[in-house]
Structure 1
Amino acid sequence: MGSSQSTLSDQHVFQSGQGQIGFNLMNSLQQSPESDKTRERLASLDVQKRVADELQRLQNKEDQVSKITDEQIAKESMDDHQIDRSSVTRSISTLSQKLRDQSGSAGQSEAVKQAEAAVVRCLRLNDRRPLDCWREVEEFKREVTQLESVFVNKVVGDV
């Protein structure tokens, strides 16, 4: 039992469930210079080549679609910019004209002038302690903010 080594015979007999495989087929497979690994490698290389070709074809198609899409976007963008540019230019000229018309009224508010005079007076009285004038400064800021909002509403509200 195990004391003698197994010997391989030169003749192999393969059987399938239906019967024996033909002797000529088996002989041609045994005589073939290609091994299973070689056939597997060739099949793998063939599959890799097909995949690479398909990827290249898809990449070319994607590049074409991307190029066409970019051209369409550029064309639409140019059309939109021309419309936007002219309308923006008209809006700017309208706003500029309104600003020129109302440029003198920005400094005419009495409340702002009084608040500014109060800040100056407080700073002169408290020249060594300017932080004591915070109430006057806050009042000045509030008046300027109101004047700005009125001015912006006049200019932009009409557009």
Structure 2
Amino acid sequence: MGASQSRSDAPDEKVFQNETPISFSPNVVNQLSDRQEATETTPERQSILDGHIRARIRDELEHLRRDEEVVRQEIEQALEKENLDRETSMAGKASEGDGTQAGDVRNSAALLGDLEEVRAKIEKYQSNKKIPEYPEVEQSGNAVAECYKKNKAAALDCWPEVTKFKASVDRLEQAYFRSL
């Protein structure tokens, strides 16, 4: 039915004839034929391709870094919410019996207890640090440090102090192993 309308008839074609002859130099013809035969890419094209690939990789890396940052923030928010919910539920259990609002008081009391525990540990560490358990090792170690400070350009001059330090450490190790 409508097939005759969609066909194009040949008499409607127009053909133009070139009146000026076109000729190419042998160099152009050779270059085009060499490019057609060569399957490898030219260095210029390869550098353009490499640059394009590098740009796409950089873009993808930046996209992945942004996604990673978003995921990290979501995880941190979820952990904060979970910890807050846990603390609130613990505070609620502690205040059920007395009828007071001990949520903040409970958390503050726990934090103060933790703070006191940390202070006690620091004081214990400081007191242990002040009382040398092995004065011979400490003295020989200080002597080595002083010698190195005095002889920055000629550190090999400190060999007698280093030898004394090694000997004191050896004596300490032997005493330790004998006590086991």
TM-score bracket, shorter-length normalisation? 0.3 to 0.5
Per chain length, whose mean CA-contact separation is higher, i.e. which structure has more relative contact order (CA < 8 Å, sep 6+)?
1
TM-score by length of 2: 0.30
Q: Which has the larger radius of gyration?
A: 1
TM-score by length of 1: 0.34
